[in-house]
Amino acid sequence: MLSRDELLKKAKRIVIKLGSQIIASDSRIDENFIKNLAAQIKNLKDKEFIIVSSGAVLSGLIKLGLKTKPKNITEKQALASVGQAYLIQIYDKIFSEQNLNIGQILLTIEGLQERKRYILAKNTINKLLEMGIIPIINENDTVGVEEIVFGDNDFLASHVAVLTDADLLIILSTAGGLYTGEPSDKTSKLIDEITDINDVLKYAGSSKSKYGTGGMRSKLEASQLSISHGIPVVIAPKEENIISDILSGRKIGSFIYPQKNKLSKKKSWIKLLSSPKGKVIVDFGAETAIRDGKSLLPTGIVDIEGIFNEKDVVVIQNLDGKIIGKGIVNYNYKELKKIKGLKSEEIKKKFGRFTEAIHRDNLVIFD
């Protein structure tokens, strides 16, 4: 495993996540902090930065002079529509002062669930970076259908890090890192390096701030996604020059080491984001084979449920009724019904071609 210093030194593409409480100060947008952030990015010329920013609802409150958080989803969406415009204007004004160009991208979980749109989002972000433009990404709260989708954008930031092949995810937090107790308690100790998130989850609270929706537990759970793709995470405090300090090797906040066995981006999308269109039930022999890393063959399928097309995602269920995985099918539901249980030679005679029902590269097995 590479050391902390080695991982930070090799980090070129960096995702920075800013929560509502980070961009706010005394119920206003902290423009001084954003100015300092822009100046750091300007000075770090050999790096690429992607910013995932919360704060649309808070910015709407500030713009309209309101004091309390919205009571329902409709109010939240209305405030977000005002706040997104207001906040991006602030980013654009401040970054332009450093001769930096930004581009706004609004994402939804539904957009990332569709494979084609997932790839389009990836390509757009990559093109912006190629053009020297800094993507500013936020969840599209104006069309969200749930009160909380990504958990104050912690999960969105982690998905973006994976989507863009980032080398590092920095999550700025009012707590400044993971502590053994309340950060304000003098007896609490900072856990400065983490190799297994499951070992330290007991220290993580899920309390919500006045404007934010995430907590330290949300940040750790979101970090699981990044580190499973070989991307280290730093949970750090809001301080002047914090990004420069982290990248220079200053030991600050909590550093989470990446896992050795990386999950591919496609399998990550299948496992975490894809929306299954149907179900295939497999026998115990097929279950054993796919758990051993083999492809799912039609001969091991005993039943089909749902209506799906070739290249759709389906869930895989065993004979005990347990969902054991997900995968992208190579046949539509009508074709699979005709060839389920048949051997390859029988399928070739009956259907004119043979391929795996789900290739192992498009298959994810759950623990």
For the stretch 114-158, pLDDT in tens is 888 899 999 999 999 999 999 999 987 565 554 445 555 888 999
Mean pLDDT of 229-233: 95
Q: How far apart are CA 133 and CA 345, in angstroms?
A: 54
Give all strands (DSSP E) within the chain, no chain letters: 13-18, 48-53, 101-107, 133-139, 168-172, 193-194, 233-236, 254-256, 278-282, 301-306, 313-317, 323-328, 363-365
For 14-50, how does the pLDDT look when each residue is reduced to its tens digit (9 = 90+)?
A: 999 999 889 988 789 999 999 999 999 999 999 999 9
Query: Edge-to-edge strands of the sheet including 233-236?
Result: 101-107, 133-139, 48-53, 13-18, 168-172, 233-236, 254-256, 193-194
pTM here is 0.83
Domain 4-266 has CATH 3.40.50.20: no
For 153-202, what is each residue's pLDDT tens digit? 888 999 999 999 999 999 999 889 999 988 888 888 999 999 999 899 88
Place of tokens 């930070």: 8
- Answer yes or no: same fold for 4-266 and 276-365: no
pLDDT computed for residue 88 by the predictor: 96
pLDDT for residue 213: 47
Q: What is the pLDDT of residue 113?
A: 82
Query: What residue ranges do the domains of the chain occupy?
Result: 4-266, 276-365
Judge whether residue 211 has pLDDT over 50.
no
Instruction: Work out the mean pLDDT of the chain and round it to a whole number.
Output: 90
> In the CATH scheme, what architecture does the domain 276-365 have?
Roll (2.30)
